[in-house]
Amino acid sequence: MSKLGEILRAQREKKAITLEQAAADTRIREKFLKALEDGDYVSLPGAVYTKGFLRNYAEYLDLDTDELIPLYQHERGQPEPPQTKSFKPYRPIARRSLVFRPVVFVPVIVIAAVSLFAGYIYYQFTTFAVKPRLELTEPATDLNASTSELVVRGVTVPEGRITVRIFPGPDTLGDIRPDPDGRFVVTVGLKPGANHLEVETLDAAGKTNRVSRTIQYQAASATATPPQLIIEQPVAGAAVTNVPVQISGRVAGPVTGLTINNSAVPINSDGRFDTRYYAPAGPQTFAIVARSASGATVQETRSVTVVYTQAVVTVFVKGGDAWLQATVDGNPMTGAAGRTYRDGETAVFIGHEVRIKSGNAAVTQVIYNGQPMTSLGKQGEVVERVFTQ
């Protein structure tokens, strides 16, 4: 083996570089590098090319080319031929201090994949998770409408497409384009009763947002005729003493219902009505309202003053029979031994002192000076109560 070849091989192995890697870095065929290290000059090309390979390889291995070229000429036994022009060797590729092996390459791939996946998830979230803007400024809340047409105004993303639906129907107004600033306005028709308004926007990315309102519309009838209502009792401003407030009168015309202070009152076939109200002492107001099938109404109001100068006790027996004994100002009212009241019977006792004794307190109910009381006690329980004025 030649001395030149030993120098080259020793330096390469010292740097832990394979022939294959050296050939790739210097761009010199591997067989020529091997021939230089083996001293096989017959397998090398001409002297000019060989010296170029040698210079390039020596620089790559950090060896002194000025010492190796003369050594090569000596071992080959040939004088250096004259050169017509200077030879400029290939510059070796920069030496890589890091060699990618599987133990390094695999973690890099894993980290890159995780980073790409995290970026993808973030993109999906920011792109698709956030709903497009949609604000309904009119109507801002649920409302009662007085006309059959409703103006709907709002703001959305400029590139959005608006769809308006109204139920019942359903009636749909679609592909409404907002102004460049995102504002939009549309008019929809309402039906009598409850209307469910739904406004939806669709942006360029396919995301949607939805806002809804409930609109109550009561259509007024141009030909609606209110019923007639006549109140006979009580007289406005009257004083009602020690008795329930008697409200009576009659209605005429297309009447479908009558209420007193929002409570339904039956109407006789001849249009008359008569009912009593147990009210506590003091000023009391009663609103009497008659309603027609078309929704037209008429209302009368009566204000009275309720006065109690004695204890007024009204006894109701409900849910069963009860033995009762009543004493008013010391005088028995139902016989000395009392008597049995049947389910549904009612009695009124008035005096400065009213004493009620019941043999079945659970079914015995009392209204005292217009104030309702719960049952006097438990089933089968004997209870005595005293009421005074």
Q: Which helix (H) or strand (E) holds 108?
A: helix 102-124
CA distances from 150 to 15, 164, 197, 336 (A): 87, 12, 10, 74
Tokens representing residue 93 in the block: 């590729």
**What is each CA distance from 124 to 117, 120, 157, in whole angstroms?**
11, 6, 19
Q: What percent of the chain has pLDDT over 90?
A: 56
C-alpha angle 190-191-197 in degrees, rounded to nearest 5:
50
DSSP label at residue 348? E
Sign of CA dihedral 67, 72, 75, 78: negative
- The sign one gets for the Cα dihedral 11, 17, 19, 22 is negative
How does pLDDT run across 109-161, given as a tens digit for each residue?
888 888 888 777 766 655 556 899 999 999 999 989 888 889 999 999 998 89
User: Where do the domains of the chain lie, and which CATH numbers do they carry?
Assistant: 3-76 (1.10.260.40), 134-217 (2.60.40.10), 228-307 (2.60.40.10), 311-388 (no CATH)
Do 57 and 8 meet the contact criterion of CB atoms below 8 Å apart? Answer: yes
Token pair recorded at residue 198:
């739904």
For every residue of 369-386, DSSP letters joined together read: TTEEE--SSSTT--EEEE
Burial 50-59 (b: 16+ CB within 10 A, else e): bbbbbbbbbb
Residues in CB range of 249: below 8 A, 6 or more apart:
229, 230, 231, 232, 233, 272, 273, 288
**C-alpha to C-alpha distance for 118 and 88, rounded to whole angstroms:** 51
pLDDT tens for each residue of the chain, 389 residues long: 688 889 999 999 999 999 999 999 999 999 999 988 988 888 888 888 888 999 999 999 999 988 898 888 888 875 554 444 444 454 555 455 555 566 656 777 888 888 888 777 766 655 556 899 999 999 999 989 888 889 999 999 998 899 999 988 778 887 899 998 999 999 988 989 999 899 999 998 889 999 999 999 986 554 567 889 999 999 999 999 999 999 999 999 888 899 999 999 999 999 999 999 999 999 999 999 999 887 789 999 999 999 999 999 998 899 999 998 999 998 898 665 688 999 999 999 999 999 999 999 999 999 999 999 878 899 989 999 999 98
pLDDT score of 175: 82
Q: How many other CB atoms are found less than 10 A from the CB of residue 74?
A: 12
Q: Apex CA 190: angle with CA 184 and CA 193, to 5°? A: 135
pTM of the model: 0.42
